[in-house]
Amino acid sequence: MKPWLAKARELERAGQLEAAEALIRDAVPDAHFALLVAELYLERFARLTAENDADGAAEANASAQRWAYFFAAQATSGGEGRAFEVERDDFLRRLRQ
């Protein structure tokens, strides 16, 4: 695992969500940073669900969805847009499982 991703996960667990997001954004120089942030929130959703924190899990789920849609919106062409939509939809299917 890349050190910056380990640090982002550590920040997320400590509740420093904006710092975790910024770290990922700074480490990934393309639109895929947003999908990695969404993944971070997917992990948070799973953890909080397991901990029976329904409110926290719902917030994490909403954040994961927002970041996934933001990722797809970063496409700069029709072909890229379709590819990003496929990645977003794959992610959202995993989030709903």
* Token pair in block for residue 67: 């970041």
Q: 25-38: per-residue pLDDT in tens?
A: 999 999 999 999 99
Each residue's pLDDT tens digit, 43-79: 999 999 999 999 999 999 999 999 999 999 999 988 9
The domain spans of the chain are 30-96
Return the CATH architecture of domain 30-96: Up-down Bundle (1.20)
- pTM for the full model? 0.94
Q: Angle CA(84)–CA(19)–CA(9) in degrees, nearest 5?
A: 75
